[in-house]
Amino acid sequence: MNLQIPFFNPKHLSLNAIEQKFNYIQNWNTIDKINWSDYSYCPQVRFKIFHTNKQIVLKFHVVEDSIRAVNNTFNSPVFQDSCCEFFIGMDDINYYNFEFNCIGAVLAGYGADRQKRNYLDTKYLDNILVYTSIEKHPFELKIEKTEWWLIAVIPISVFHYNSFSNFSEIIAKGNFYKCGDKTMPVHYVSWSEINLPKPDFHCPEFFGNITFE
């Protein structure tokens, strides 16, 4: 899979300004790869993305059959909830994982694989702006078809393990995911296909190619 992230330079990053920029991007990218037959449910998931040289701006749009948002603090297990994820590696060894549940709680880490990860400090996570269509109060599982969206603005300062001055300098690899360990049905779908015997998103060998305009 290959993804080119377009460049925009808005004067400010209000929600209205962000939405206007997303309107210029006509095509959505779909997260629809079912990689494990035991988890065959695939919600409707798509995303758009752009960068400003100093921020990555990402929008997920989801329609799913149940919704859950129990976690509401930094680095809590948001993957148990209705969760969208963005993994990106800027070198040949390590990568960042950014995971967002539907009320905007963030889990983020850096490392070489699932075991070798460092949670990003809250001083960095505080700088990630998250907008969501779901009111930001935790709730237990609801078995009802729900449509929701989430926008995340990730500043360049969050990528503090790497040294670069703007995103246009970067050639990266990454993947985008939708999961819900405690939703119904449980599901694990991806943008770039994964060829492993059991669910695992921490697999940079299956990342797609990402370039920045």
CB 151 within 8 A of CB 25: no
Task: Answer yes or no: is pLDDT of 12 > 90.
Answer: no
So what's the pLDDT on residue 119? 97
Tokens of 49: 């993305």
Domains of the chain, each with CATH number or no CATH: 2-212 (2.60.40.1190)
Residue 8 predicted with pLDDT over 90: yes
- In the chain, where do the E strands start and end? 2-5, 29-30, 33-34, 44-51, 55-64, 67-69, 83-89, 95-101, 106-111, 117-119, 129-132, 139-142, 146-155, 171-180, 187-190, 208-212
What was the pLDDT predicted at 3?
Answer: 98
Q: Cα–Cα–Cα angle for 180, 176, 39, nearest 5°?
A: 40
pLDDT at position 147, please? 98
- The per-residue pLDDT for 76 is 98
Tell me the H-state helices in the chain. 15-24, 122-125
- The pLDDT tens digits of the residues spanning 132-179 come to 999 999 999 999 999 999 999 999 999 999 999 999 989 999 999 999
Task: List the end-to-end C-alpha distance of the chain, in Å, as a whole number.
Answer: 17
The pLDDT assigned to 154 comes to 98
- Give me the percent of the chain exceeding a pLDDT of 90: 96
Predicted confidence at residue 10, as pLDDT, reads: 82
**pLDDT for 44-95, tens place per residue?**
999 999 999 999 999 999 999 999 999 999 999 999 999 999 999 999 999 9
| Whole-number percent of the chain with pLDDT over 70 | 100
